């Protein structure tokens, strides 16, 4: 036997066993397949003995239960491709295209939707160009623009914290020649409020047809408002609409980075040169499995909504105003600076959302596990 090969394999297996121990798994269980009862849908929804995991994570709008058992099994099966470049990818692009009823050339994969938001900036922005949207929203898009020496024109929300579509239309028309693209986060992060189907139609029907509109639909799975509609029909109409989606939220693989853009093929072709193509094999297989696992998706949706409404009711009972939410988070009015609440929560082992100027007396709170939510409510009683 080749002693170098034997020694290397023993080293690997020993390291893997150590890693499995940290994950609370048993050697032989498969690096991503926990030995748990078949009824447990989310094997990684457990606390580990680590300071990071001792926090109640209510700051980043994650799925607190992690990927489903079906996703983990699919990813576990993809480990055999870890040493390859041209690996089978579970046909994730075709799976996404079929899921949306479009052809593969309408899809661009990315390492999370964050990469694709940057790709849109690289494609359509240059010095002197402008991106138009509201504030607060998912402002990373604006940072990408300014990094390219372009400008961001940000409009305030209306008094009811909705995005001001009429003012957006007016601003686009005034700046038409220099508009790189328009940004619409729907539902909006951090408010959790949707732009209605009628408002999206109003926007698209009243701006020049050559202006690209980027619609970030990271939280669309959680929407239950009947006035909301996804923007896919506009892509099918051939409009200059780009939709970004992520597997980080309802599917629970934020750390593994998987997202995609949907747009007409001409726009995808313009964007593709700026994409790194850096999505890993494991999450591609997991993503393809997730799209078929409707039962787990519905479980996460229903549980999230149940816990969100329970938290909101509790917060309101203490006298705080809370914005209506169609996401896995909500915004509460702290009256005094939200930074004071954030620091006080951190002292109690609870991590909550960052500042979202100009709403500096509002706090964004993600939905966590029941235990995490209870820690938040107890902390709020002490802080308030």
Residue 6's pLDDT band, with cuts at 50, 70 and 90, is very low
pLDDT at 88: 81
Q: Is the pLDDT of residue 5 over 70?
A: no
Provide the token pair at 186: 């729907």
- Per-residue pLDDT averaged across 54-63, rounded? 94
Count other Cβ atoms within 10 Å, centred on residue 347. 10
CATH class of 295-383: alpha beta
- CATH fold of 125-211+222-237 reads 3.40.640
pLDDT in tens, 301-323: 999 999 999 999 999 999 999 99
Structure tokens at 321: 């105003």
C-alpha dihedral, 57 to 58 to 60 to 61, nearest 10°: 120
Write the pLDDT tens digit of every residue in 278-300. Answer: 899 999 999 999 999 999 999 99
User: Distance between CA atoms of 194 and 226, rounded to whole angstroms?
Assistant: 10
Q: Are strands 241-246 and 107-110 parallel, antiparallel or unpaired?
A: unpaired
Q: What is the pLDDT of residues 147-194, one digit of tens each?
A: 888 999 999 999 999 999 999 999 999 999 999 999 999 999 999 999
- What is the structure's pLDDT at 15? 42
For residue 41, pLDDT beyond 70: no
Q: What is the pLDDT of residues 107-162, one digit of tens each?
A: 999 999 999 999 999 999 999 999 999 999 999 999 988 888 899 999 999 999 99
Extents of the domains making up the chain: 125-211+222-237, 295-383
Q: What is the mean pLDDT of residues 213-226?
A: 97
What is the CA angle 107-133-225, rounded to 5?
A: 70
At residue 11, the pLDDT reads 40
**Single pTM value for the model:** 0.86
């Amino acid at each position: 036997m080749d002693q170098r090969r034997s020694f290397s394999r023993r080293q690997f297996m020993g390291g893997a066993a150590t890693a499995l121990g940290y994950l609370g798994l048993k050697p032989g269980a498969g690096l991503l397949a926990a030995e748990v009862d078949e009824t447990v849908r989310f094997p990684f929804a457990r606390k580990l003995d680590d300071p990071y995991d001792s926090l109640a994570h209510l700051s980043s709008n994650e799925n607190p239960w992690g990927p489903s058992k079906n996703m983990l099994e699919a990813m576990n099966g993809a480990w055999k491709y870890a040493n390859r470049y041209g690996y089978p990818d579970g046909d994730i692009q075709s799976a996404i295209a079929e899921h949306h009823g479009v052809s593969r050339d309408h899809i661009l994969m990315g390492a999370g939707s964050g990469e694709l938001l940057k790709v849109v900036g690289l494609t359509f922005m240059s010095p002197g160009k402008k991106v138009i949207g509201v504030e607060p929203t998912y402002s990373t898009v604006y940072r990408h623009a300014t990094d390219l020496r372009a400008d961001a024109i940000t409009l305030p929300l209306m008094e009811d914290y909705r995005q001001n579509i009429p003012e957006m239309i007016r601003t686009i028309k005034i700046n038409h020649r220099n508009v790189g693209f328009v940004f619409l986060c729907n539902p909006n992060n951090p408010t959790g409020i949707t732009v209605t189907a009628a408002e999206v139609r109003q926007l698209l029907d009243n701006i020049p047809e050559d202006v690209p509109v980027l619609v970030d639909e990271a939280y669309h799975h959680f929407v239950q408002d009947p006035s909301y509609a996804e923007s896919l029909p506009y892509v099918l109409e051939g409009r200059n609409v780009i939709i970004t989606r992520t597997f980080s939220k309802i599917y629970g693989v934020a750390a593994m980075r998987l997202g995609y853009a949907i747009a007409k093929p001409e726009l995808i072709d313009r964007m593709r040169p700026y994409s790194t193509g850096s999505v890993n094999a494991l999450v591609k297989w997991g993503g393809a499995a997730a799209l078929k696992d409707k039962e787990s998706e519905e479980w996460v949706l229903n549980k999230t909504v149940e816990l969100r409404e329970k938290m909101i009711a509790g917060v309101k009972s203490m006298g705080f105003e809370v914005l209506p939410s169609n996401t896995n988070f909500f915004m509460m009015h702290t009256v005094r600076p939200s930074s004071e609440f954030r620091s006080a929560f951190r002292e109690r082992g609870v991590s909550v959302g960052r500042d979202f100027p100009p709403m500096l007396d509002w706090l964004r709170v993600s939905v966590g596990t029941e235990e995490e939510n209870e820690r938040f409510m107890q902390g709020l009683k002490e802080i308030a």
